[in-house]
Structure 1
Amino acid sequence: MCLHFTEEDNTTLYSALHQMTDNPFHLWENHSKDSSMLTLPSGFLNDEQFYIIFLFIIYTLQLINNCAIIINSLIIAVFVKLGFSEPSNISLTALAVCDFTLAVLLTWNNLCFWLSYHNVRLPFHSANVSLLTGGAQWAFLSSTVAWITAFISFERCLCILVPLKVRRLITPRGTFVAMLIIILLTFCPSFFIYVRYKFVWVFDPYLNITILNTIPVNSEFAILFEKISFVICGVIQPLLAFSIVLVCTVLLVVQLRKISSWRMSVTSAKSKRVRSEENPAASSSAAEARICQKEERLVRMVVGIAFIFIVSYIPTCIFLLCYVVFDEFNQFGVYRRLFMVSSFIISLGQPISGSVNILIYYKMASKFRSVFRRLVRLDRQERRELE
């Protein structure tokens, strides 16, 4: 939604926006004669501390984002080659696609803040516009990742609790539909942000050009809508998904120990019997052991994915609780600098977890490892070394 004002109105509106938004970089150094713009309370962090911490986080985050984009591209390519006959391949591909998109959105945000820091003249207010074109989408897509991880953990729990019925309950088509529903319920509400905020064309008297900026809609409906949507989509949904992953991971770890104990007992029993060729019962036990070993590897892989998600998502849960409890802990409050630094710190966890997943797939899934090695030409290099 875009509006246009007269030049006089634009000048007044732009000054008001400066006071309201407090851009984390060049707005502190604006050339207005109004000294109140330069003395807005920041909470805990002064200018120098904020500059150092923020720039360090941005450069570190971008380095991790580049790795996440490359790694998740490889993961998607491997699963495409493997095909989607297995439900787990569909859910893991959806997870990789979300991780890839998150890294792209974070790259866009980093670029916008970097341009803002260096006072690059653009036809739009880079820091503020990025909040509506990347920041909000990133926040909601993080919830999507949480729910996909919860689905993967829940699916593995069903395989343990009802192994005979799980093939009918979890099908490739059903998994695909479940991924679409999760995306619709968690990511699509991010566009509700445009009910509370809107784009406006504002005349910048300091740059002497008209630029695109954002302002909040202060109607009662918009404010109430923002509060309700944030509580549901920004707090309840992520924390509920986190709780599901936590519970399912505990159940999987307990079951994993039972599987390991059972496999040890089968191995011990085999050692007391004659050779499997002479004993059909022993051959049957060996086949069961191999099936159990395959199931164990899959459970270990899911536990690894869930464990990395839990560790990386704990700071996000703390951040959301602080946002709800402390009124001034937001992008416009007294502690806005601390809020922005914290938001960028917790965003480090998502690309890291999305990048580390490939190590779990490579170690636990033999088919993934085989296709990955062919994809990056590792097998060909090994043959050349042997020759």
Structure 2
Amino acid sequence: MEPIVTLSAFSEIDNYESSINDVAMYFTDEITNIFLMINFACLCGLISFLGIIANIINLIIFYRQGLNTTINIGFFSLALSDLCSLVLQQVFNVFVNLRLSNSDVPVVFVEIQFLTATLSREMFTTITSLITVYITAERCLCIVFPLQVKQMISLRSTIVVMIVIFAVTLLSPIAIYSTSYLEWKFYPNINRSFLSMGYKDNFETCEVVSYFIHAIVGLVSYLAVVIFTLILIYKLQEKHTFYRKANLNQDKTRSLSKRDRTTMATVVLIATILIVCFIPAGILCIMSFLEPEFNVRDKYHNMFYCLWSFAMLFESINSSVPIVLYLRMSTRFRTQFRLLFYRCLCPIESSVIKNKTW
């Protein structure tokens, strides 16, 4: 028996398409250029520049502290991923500036930046989210299983996990790169040839699947960070209550309470920053999966660009702010920071912090 398709079903589809069209009509070329100028040329450019400097500092400090603990390896890998993401963001910003300046260079900047900067940048933002999950999970295990954690998470296993995260994520867009290429296209209306993207037959399918996988990985990462954070907070509160009931020394109890509060504040900030800054990109990936024409080439290209300008701005902020958390939460990091930049103003015996870690 044939399935019955009612008129109401067609009406719902028409209303859905009509609502998208109503929103898309506000994203004119002029409005799009304004958003790109503000978010990419100004805000992202400044934040990425400062973030690159901050992550270079992070790499130097964690390397000097020594990559001999799992947490230092995690933070070093996070800084490396954030640095690569911000460098590619700056490359992306250059393409946007060339496009807005109406440069006479025979290049379709929107398509070239997609292949050279956008895909690579999104890979490193995914790496950042996965490393954040690992760091949060490790801190959770340290509290839940303090005696067994060294057997559960070793230095070698952490290095292997970091390598696997980088390798698998960097190899993930092979399908898109294998179905696209650069070519010279002739445009009869202006009688010129431009360097742009060429596509194979299955490119759109690979692109949609890639957006879907990226959205799923992002969603799983957010949920994992939230779950691990909630477990960590619960266990810390449980320990704090136990120590108070055991009538331990007042100074020790007070010190433990301060340490607990600092740890909880750190993981809550990590989770909050990750969720707030990465949710917009996850939503847009889902939109691209649900609406095939929501991309840089088709019907909703202006809306796509405007919304992604905000998502990429948030991701740039996420990659730039860890140094603030480190300086606020870690005494050893602050000491190394002073040694690196204020040796003359704040003389500190280098032997005090030699071989010390996070």
Tell me which amino acid in the other structure corresponds to 1:381.
L
- Select the residue among 77, 96, 99 that pairs with 1:116: 99
How far apart are 1:256 and its partner, in Å?
3.0
Tell me which amino acid in the other structure corresponds to 1:371.
Q
- Select the residue among 162, 179, 203 that pairs with 2:145: 162
Task: Supply the distance in 1 between the matched residues of 2:206 and 2:99 (Cα, whole angstroms).
Answer: 30
Task: Supply the distance in 1 between the matched residues of 2:65 and 2:339 (Cα, whole angstroms).
Answer: 12
Task: Supply the distance in 1 between the matched residues of 2:68 and 2:104 (Cα, whole angstroms).
Answer: 51
Which residue of structure 1 lines up, in the alignment, with residue 236 of structure 2?
256
Tell me which amino acid in the other structure corresponds to 2:320.
S
Distance 1:333 1:348, change over 3 A: same
Indicate if the aligned counterparts of 1:75 and 1:96 stay in contact, CA closer than 8 A: yes
Which residue of structure 2 lines up, in the alignment, with residue 201 of structure 1?
184
Task: Supply the distance in 2 between the matched residues of 1:342 and 1:360 (Cα, whole angstroms).
Answer: 28
How far apart are 1:211 and its partner, in Å?
4.3
1:224-255: CA deviation from partner (whole Å, max 9, x where unpaired): 444434323x2221211121112112212222
Q: After TM superposition, which residue ranges in structure 1, 4 or more long, deviate above 3 angstroms?
A: 202-211, 222-230, 259-266, 288-300
Which residue of structure 2 lines up, in the alignment, with residue 46 of structure 1?
28
Indicate if the aligned counterparts of 1:43 and 1:334 stay in contact, CA closer than 8 A: no
Tell me which amino acid in the other structure corresponds to 2:118.
G
Which residue of structure 1 lines up, in the alignment, with residue 9 of structure 2?
none
Task: Supply the distance in 2 between the matched residues of 1:205 and 1:303 (Cα, whole angstroms).
Answer: 56
1:332 paired to 2:297: yes
Moved more, 290-299 or 166-175: 290-299
Name the SS for the 2:249 alignment partner.
Answer: helix
Which residue of structure 2 lines up, in the alignment, with residue 55 of structure 1?
37
Which residue of structure 1 lines up, in the alignment, with residue 10 of structure 2?
none
Question: Which residues of 2 match residues 67-78 of structure 1 at below 5 A?
Answer: 67-78=50-61
Task: Supply the distance in 2 between the matched residues of 1:161 and 1:252 (Cα, whole angstroms).
Answer: 8
Indicate if the aligned counterparts of 1:322 and 1:329 stay in contact, CA closer than 8 A: yes
- Select the residue among 256, 267, 272 that pairs with 1:302: 267
Task: Supply the distance in 2 between the matched residues of 1:207 and 1:100 (Cα, whole angstroms).
Answer: 40
Structure 1, unaligned stretches of length 5 or more?
1-40, 272-284
Tell me which amino acid in the other structure corresponds to 2:345.
Q
- Select the residue among 304, 314, 320 that pairs with 1:349: 314
Tell me which amino acid in the other structure corresponds to 2:233.
V
How far apart are 1:203 and its partner, in Å?
4.8
Which residue of structure 2 lines up, in the alignment, with residue 14 of structure 1?
none
Task: Supply the distance in 1 between the matched residues of 2:205 and 2:158 (Cα, whole angstroms).
Answer: 35
Moved more, 44-53 or 76-85: 44-53
Distance 1:160 1:382, change over 3 A: closer
How far apart are 1:265 and its partner, in Å?
4.9
How far apart are 1:318 and its partner, in Å?
2.2
How far apart are 1:263 and its partner, in Å?
5.0
Task: Supply the distance in 2 between the matched residues of 1:166 and 1:295 (Cα, whole angstroms).
Answer: 18
Which residue of structure 2 lines up, in the alignment, with residue 146 of structure 1?
129
1:335-357: CA deviation from partner (whole Å, max 9, x where unpaired): 21111111111111122122221
Name the SS for the 1:347 alignment partner.
Answer: helix
1:88-143: CA deviation from partner (whole Å, max 9, x where unpaired): 01111111111111111111111011112212233543332111000011122211
Name the SS for the 2:198 alignment partner.
Answer: strand
Task: Supply the distance in 1 between the matched residues of 2:125 and 2:261 (Cα, whole angstroms).
Answer: 29
- Select the residue among 223, 226, 232 that pairs with 1:243: 223
Which residue of structure 2 lines up, in the alignment, with residue 65 of structure 1?
48
Question: Identity across aligned pairs (percent)?
Answer: 26
TM-score by length of 1: 0.76
1:228 paired to 2:222: no
Which residue of structure 1 lines up, in the alignment, with residue 345 of structure 2?
381
- Select the residue among 277, 281, 286 that pairs with 1:312: 277
1:57-94: CA deviation from partner (whole Å, max 9, x where unpaired): 12111111111111111111110110111100111111
Indicate if the aligned counterparts of 1:193 and 1:226 stay in contact, CA closer than 8 A: yes
Name the SS for the 2:278 alignment partner.
Answer: helix
Tell me which amino acid in the other structure corresponds to 1:351.
S
Which residue of structure 2 lines up, in the alignment, with residue 85 of structure 1?
68
Q: Which has the larger radius of gyration?
A: 1
Task: Supply the distance in 2 between the matched residues of 1:73 and 1:46 (Cα, whole angstroms).
Answer: 39
Indicate if the aligned counterparts of 2:81 and 2:124 stay in contact, CA closer than 8 A: yes
Kindly tell me the number of residue pairs found equivalent between the two proteins: 325
Structural RMSD (CA): 2.8
Which residue of structure 2 lines up, in the alignment, with residue 369 of structure 1?
334
Distance 1:262 1:354, change over 3 A: farther
Task: Supply the distance in 1 between the matched residues of 2:229 and 2:170 (Cα, whole angstroms).
Answer: 24
TM-score by length of 2: 0.81
How far apart are 1:373 and its partner, in Å?
1.1
Indicate if the aligned counterparts of 2:131 and 2:162 stay in contact, CA closer than 8 A: yes
Moved more, 348-357 or 188-197: 188-197
How far apart are 1:359 and its partner, in Å?
1.6
Tell me which amino acid in the other structure corresponds to 1:73.
I
